[in-house]
Amino acid sequence: MSPVLADVLQVSALIAALALVHRPLGDYMARVYSSTRHLRVERWIYRCVGADPDAEMRWPAYLRSVLAFSAVSVLFLYLLQRVQDKLPLSLGFKPIDPDQAFNTAASFVSNTNWQSYSGESAMSHVTQTAGLAVQNFVSAAVGMAVAIALVRGFTRARTGELGNFWADMVRGTVRILLPVSALAAVVLVATGAIQNFAGFHEVHTLSGATQDIPGGAVASQEAIKDLGTNGGGFFNANSSHPFENPNGFSNLLEIFLLLVIPFSLPRTFGTMVGSAKQGYAIVAAMGAIWFAGVVAVTVTEFQHPGTAAQLAGGAMEGKEQRFGEGASSLFSVSTTMTSTGSVNSFHDSFSGLSGGVLLLGMMLGEIAPGGVGSGLYGMLVMAVVAVFVSGLMVGRTPEYLGKKIGPREIKLAACYILITPALVLGGTGLAMALPDGKEAMTNIGAHGFSEVLYAYTSGSNNNGSAFAGFGADTPFFNTTIGLCMLLGRFLPMVFVLALASSLAKQTPVPVTAGTLRTEKPLFTGMLVGAILIITGLTFFPALALGPLAEGLA
Amino acid sequence: MNTSVRNTGRLLSAAFRALLVLTVVCGVIYPLVITGIAQGAFHDKANGSVVKADGRDVGSRLIGQSWNERGGRKPDPKYFQGRPSASDYDPRNSGSSQLGASDPKLVGMVRKARKQVADFNGVPQSRVPKDAVTGSASALDPAISKKYAALQVDRVARANRLSTGTVRRLVSEHTAGRTLGFLGEPTVNVLELNLAVRRAAARG
């Protein structure tokens, strides 16, 4: 079988698997967030927290809970890294430096998982499992909670109440993320991923050298890292490390885990608003952009432009033999477009044009399909904008799902959209203007600029993947990228929750002959168009300086 | 003012308790349960798929190693060689070269590797496959392509005084197709193949 045919089959199998679970998982998640019953373990958690899970929250209260929980998480994770040498299972590693500990704490709490450290040579077992892996669960659950609060804004009327943050976050963790991760972790161990609490195991090789085989609770962390679209690898090599991703099957399973919740949440949305078709319109827009990205990167990597790749006869630099070009391209697009940022191959060594597509995938704002939760709310904000633009074209008051899109709604959506470009372009500009930025590039010229642009894009959009040649562990980058990650995560949530409240307070308007039908393919096309135009206009100049200049050189 | 400070304090303390209890659930119970299942059901795999020879551990079948001559920096002709590695197969230091596809430094590395592989195996440079001249992502790639294995058969057979037929058979025994027939790429596991070659050479 030719590599191209195998790759076509592989992509088809992935799409089939995602389609198969779309309805059951989406409906299950809708039930989880709508149910009035509490599981026994959940009641126990609420008692420990001292929260009443049935108390409705208005948007300021919901937001305060999100921020309080995240602030405490940043602090806890920071302290854990600073004292890791005094805790058990430290493997002899030193405490993490303050700037890097802040960067890592901000990174994992904001669901970014940008890593300026190298896992196997810095983080103790306790930091990894009780610190980083815990944030993999809860930061994902926070994203889903905010998305569900926005959906409630569409389903509720004449109320400012958006649900209870503690209930939403705990249910997301206990009923969705934990069971799926546990299952996936066991399957990953069966393929060869390691799961132990041992240190390095020294072996003597046949050629008389020694080699330190690492240990760690890898499979359990790998499963949630992908499922929660986090992306922070146990090892520096992330999902290209054979202990994280041993073969072709584990690779496809990991890609499936990245995509499964973001692609199923539109069904949850459709079910909750009472029209499955509204969900299909959203998932179609996500799927179209994702698929276009997969095709673009796969074709480019198989053609392997670039002088070094041409000389080598293929684009295998930074790729594993067991994955090859096809499975690496599929993983790279899926990870950048879901805000995951784990990698099974190193994006820095992809051809210039592929690197540009991966960058663009992040610049779209992580909505195709985006991170768990953040993908859905980002896409719904874009849908609000698309409805507004369509309304202007035909001269009618725009409305979406019976809610009027007035000045307040559109202002909130516009603020949401402006945050990440401001952070990306501001951060990149600052880094290029100061000597710190230029010193960190491993590559020269356009590719070096792409590295810096990629870093701020990845941080501000909460992706976390890197053109990793970039020497990110400096106080300047740790601090500025850390701030970009926190602002890029939590400022948009402010506007999403305010928007949710403003929608929930409205009285729904009845559907008439003049209502824009947002469940039709025409609207999906409008939505994709709006996304591309907004992103294109914002980022084209920056892309032209980096990947486009490199690709056309 | 006082009530808002008190409310903020109460909220932060609730948040802290929530984090602690979720740390117990997701950061202690979850990994321990998975470790228990993994150690019980997949003991070898959960501990790194360690390979033994002559009664001692010689590596992991999932982690590549360098096959240099004893104590030297030169590749050992008796063994199949793996892919170039950015960290010389040090598992404490995984990761790739990070060089862009048009980087002049990478061009130089590819050119050098091509000449080295061609000279070492006594074949024309045009026959050297892509995986032989490019570094993997993890720097620990345990596998090479079928083409790269085939290219090394003559040299390994000569160095071990084995027939090329025997070595070719060993290569095909240690070649794995795509997982389930279509996932990923076919691989030849270098460590297992070299162990088999060594056993065959010892038998004579």
Q: What residues does A210 pair with on adjacent strands? A: A204
* Chain A nearest-CA residue for B178: A248
Residue A319 dihedral angles phi and psi, to the nearest 5°: -125, 150
Q: Is the pLDDT of residue A553 over 90?
A: no
With cut-offs at 50, 70 and 90, classify the pLDDT of residue B182: very high
The model's pLDDT over A332-346, given as tens digits with 9 standing for 90+, comes to 999 999 989 899 999
Question: What whole-number percentage of chain B has pLDDT above 70?
Answer: 99
Q: Is the pLDDT of residue A401 over 60?
A: yes
With cut-offs at 50, 70 and 90, classify the pLDDT of residue B1: low
Q: Is B60 on the interface with A (CB under 8 A)?
A: yes
Q: Is the pLDDT of residue A504 over 60?
A: yes
Of A140-144, A429-433, A513-517, highest mean pLDDT:
A140-144
Q: Is the pLDDT of residue B102 over 90?
A: no
- Whole-number pLDDT of residue A337: 94
The model's pLDDT over A68-96, given as tens digits with 9 standing for 90+, comes to 999 999 999 999 999 999 988 888 889 99
Q: Is B125 on the interface with A (CB under 8 A)?
A: no
Q: Is the pLDDT of residue A469 over 70?
A: no
Give the residue-averaged pLDDT of B65-73: 89
With cut-offs at 50, 70 and 90, classify the pLDDT of residue B100: confident
Does the ipTM exceed 0.90?
yes
- Round the average pLDDT of chain A to a whole number and report it: 93
With cut-offs at 50, 70 and 90, classify the pLDDT of residue B64: very high
With cut-offs at 50, 70 and 90, classify the pLDDT of residue A442: low
Count chain A–chain B contacts defined by CB atoms under 8 A: 385
CA dihedral over A214, A216, A219, A221, signed as positive or negative: negative
Give the residue-averaged pLDDT of A281-310: 95
Question: Given an 8 Å threshold on Cβ–Cβ distance, is A197 in contact with B35?
Answer: yes
Q: Cα separations (Å) of A240 from A121, A336, B139?
A: 17, 15, 9
Question: Given an 8 Å threshold on Cβ–Cβ distance, is B98 in contact with A240?
Answer: no
DSSP string, B120-181: HHT--GGG--GGGTS--SSS---EE-HHHHHHHHHHHHHHHT--HHHHHHHHHHTEE-SBTT
The model's pLDDT over A186-198, given as tens digits with 9 standing for 90+, comes to 999 999 999 999 9
Q: Is the pLDDT of residue A468 over 70?
A: no
Nearest to B39 among A130, A196, A469 (CB): A196
Question: Given an 8 Å threshold on Cβ–Cβ distance, is A69 in contact with B94?
Answer: no
- Whole-number pLDDT of residue A258: 96
Lowest-confidence range among A467-481, B45-59, B155-169? A467-481
Q: Is the pLDDT of residue A207 over 70?
A: yes
Distance CA A23, CA A267 (A): 6
Distance from CA of B39 to the nearest CA of A (A): 8
Beta strand pairing call for B187-189 and B175-176: antiparallel
The model's pLDDT over A8-41, given as tens digits with 9 standing for 90+, comes to 999 999 999 999 999 999 999 999 999 999 999 9
CA dihedral (A83, A342, A453, A385) in degrees, to 10, reads -110
